[in-house]
Chain A
Amino acid sequence: MAERYDVVIVGAGPAGLAAAIYASRARLKTLVLDESVPGGQMKTTHKVSNYPGFPEDVKGADLAKAFAMQAERFGARIRRAVEITGHDLSGKTKWLELDEEEKVEAPAVIVATGAKPRELGVPGESRFRGRGISYCATCDGAYFDGKEIHVIGGGNSAVEESLFLTQFARKVTIVHQFDHFQAEPVSAREALESPKIEVIWDSEPRAFLGENQLERVRIENVKTKEVRELATDGVFVFVGYAPRTDLLKGVVPFNSWGYVETGEDMSTGVPGLYVAGDIRSKRFRQITTAVADGTIAALAVQKYVKEHG
């Protein structure tokens, strides 16, 4: 027998939790599911400086906890570390199977599964994952105390996490494919001025090499075509994000970049199915825009549930 909710929200990042706050305050019986702990990408961001309401920097993990506590305060139930092992999101009543052992159902589902760090797709990357290659600075930075490491990327994450990594590493070398950072000017300048950070411009990684452990990264200068190998103790990869759309395969169409198109109210072509946050096709992906999406989706769901629930 499936437990019934008014709305099931998949993904406990800022979009999903904002939706949960609005839905639970509207007295909808609300369930939030996450494969991990709440927070989405926020929880592994070492500091957040641009979320309104926090005049000082806030740790991403603390902001994540605050979002979750606020949603739970109004009665939303958040299930952590739960795996969705089966689902039907197309019908009037939508159901999800959890951990191969139980089912939940609801007339409305908001998919806010976000995006995950993009992999480079370079030879050696999967072999050395956890053996020198990492995608999470807060998790793994301390492994590189006094070491010389490389960061791949030049956007906000790459630059800000490089600054964070200088707490541990003796030297951080950023390898970036362009001749300037895409990061916000404040962090970009801080990185360029840091005595511990060096930048190799116009270069991309081509291979990760080593015996049992990552030892070297082969890079190519995209302008001169010069190829060289750099000795390294570890590499952190921050080259953007890829949408997590597994749950929606065959349910809604994706655009050519893999994201989901929605109406202004976050609706999809499937009645009762909404998407919010980074998984959506849109120009800007920020915590603030995810929160806005989640809010809108929850308000649209309230109306939908009233009419069809």
Chain B
Amino acid sequence: MSEHVKEIGEPEYETEVVAASRQQPVVLDFYSTDCPPCEALAPKFESVAELFAGRARFVKIFRQGSRELASRLGVTGSPTLVFFKDGKEVGERMSGEEIKKTALKAQVEALLS
């Protein structure tokens, strides 16, 4: 686990994601085991997190341990990236194997501008 990506559990969602996004944008990654696209996203997610260190927060959450939250947010696939700003979800979600590092970077840039 990189120092730039924080892993949280369902109980920390309100503080680490919703409340934290009032300070700076938060990208939340739902991941699963037995999910090669999740394995593929992990290094890209960490490298983008490092790039935006101090400006945006990158958080990951294990879906199998957060069923209620996943279902409340309507997340039905892994990996899914959900973006938060000013206490609410913003922008397009990204999901599946095709998440590109350049696209993730661009979306975070857009949240910061």
Q: How far is the CB of A233 from chain B (nearest CB, A)?
A: 8
Query: Measured between alpha carbons, how far is A116 from B32 in the docked complex, in Å?
Result: 21
Assess the B76–A143 pair: CB atoms within 8 A. yes
CB-based nearest A residue for B74: A213
Q: Which of B12-20, B21-29, B98-106 contacts A (4 or more CB under 8 A)?
A: B98-106
Asked if A44 is at the interface (CB within 8 A of a chain B CB), the reply is yes
**Inter-chain residue pair count (beta carbon < 8 A):** 92
Asked if B37 is at the interface (CB within 8 A of a chain A CB), the reply is yes
Assess the A129–B97 pair: CB atoms within 8 A. no
Assess the A43–B36 pair: CB atoms within 8 A. yes
Instruction: Tell me the A65-121 residues at the B interface (CB within 8 Å).
Output: 80-81, 83, 85, 99-100, 116
Asked if A294 is at the interface (CB within 8 A of a chain B CB), the reply is no
Instruction: Select B96's contact among A39, A100, A136, A144, beta carbons within 8 Å.
Output: A136
Asked if B55 is at the interface (CB within 8 A of a chain A CB), the reply is no
Assess the A142–B43 pair: CB atoms within 8 A. no
Instruction: Select A81's contact among B44, B76, B98, beta carbons within 8 Å.
Output: B44
Neighbouring B residues of A138 by C-beta, 8 Å = 34-36
Instruction: Tell me the B42-97 residues at the A interface (CB within 8 Å).
Output: 42-44, 63-64, 70, 74-78, 80, 93, 95-97
Assess the B78–A80 pair: CB atoms within 8 A. no
Assess the A37–B36 pair: CB atoms within 8 A. yes
Asked if B40 is at the interface (CB within 8 A of a chain A CB), the reply is yes
Neighbouring B residues of A35 by C-beta, 8 Å = 40, 100
Instruction: Say whether, besides A83-B101, A142-B32, A36 and B75 are in contact (CB < 8 Å).
Output: no
Instruction: Select A129's contact among B35, B36, B95, B102, beta carbons within 8 Å.
Output: B95
Query: Measured between alpha carbons, how far is A214 from B71 in the docked complex, in Å?
Result: 12
Neighbouring A residues of B96 by C-beta, 8 Å = 129-130, 135-136
Instruction: Select A44's contact among B36, B41, B98, beta carbons within 8 Å.
Output: B36
Assess the B100–A140 pair: CB atoms within 8 A. no
Q: How far is the CB of B64 from chain A (nearest CB, A)?
A: 7
Neighbouring A residues of B36 by C-beta, 8 Å = 36-37, 39, 43-44, 61, 64, 138-139
Asked if A224 is at the interface (CB within 8 A of a chain B CB), the reply is no
Asked if A134 is at the interface (CB within 8 A of a chain B CB), the reply is yes
Query: Measured between alpha carbons, how far is A140 from B76 in the docked complex, in Å?
Result: 7
Instruction: Say whether, besides A83-B100, A130-B95, A130-B96, A140 and B78 are in contact (CB < 8 Å).
Output: yes
Asked if A132 is at the interface (CB within 8 A of a chain B CB), the reply is yes
Asked if A255 is at the interface (CB within 8 A of a chain B CB), the reply is no
Asked if A256 is at the interface (CB within 8 A of a chain B CB), the reply is no
Assess the B101–A143 pair: CB atoms within 8 A. no
Assess the A61–B77 pair: CB atoms within 8 A. no
Instruction: Select B37's contact among A36, A85, A100, A131, beta carbons within 8 Å.
Output: A36
Neighbouring B residues of A14 by C-beta, 8 Å = none
Q: How far is the CB of B21 from chain A (nearest CB, A)?
A: 19
Asked if A234 is at the interface (CB within 8 A of a chain B CB), the reply is yes
Assess the A130–B80 pair: CB atoms within 8 A. yes
6 shortest A-B CB distances, which residue pairs?
A: A130-B95, A36-B40, A130-B77, A43-B36, A139-B35, A213-B74
Contacts A81-B44, A81-B101 known; 9 new A-B pairs at CB < 8 A: A61-B34, A81-B40, A100-B102, A130-B80, A131-B75, A132-B74, A139-B35, A142-B64, A213-B76
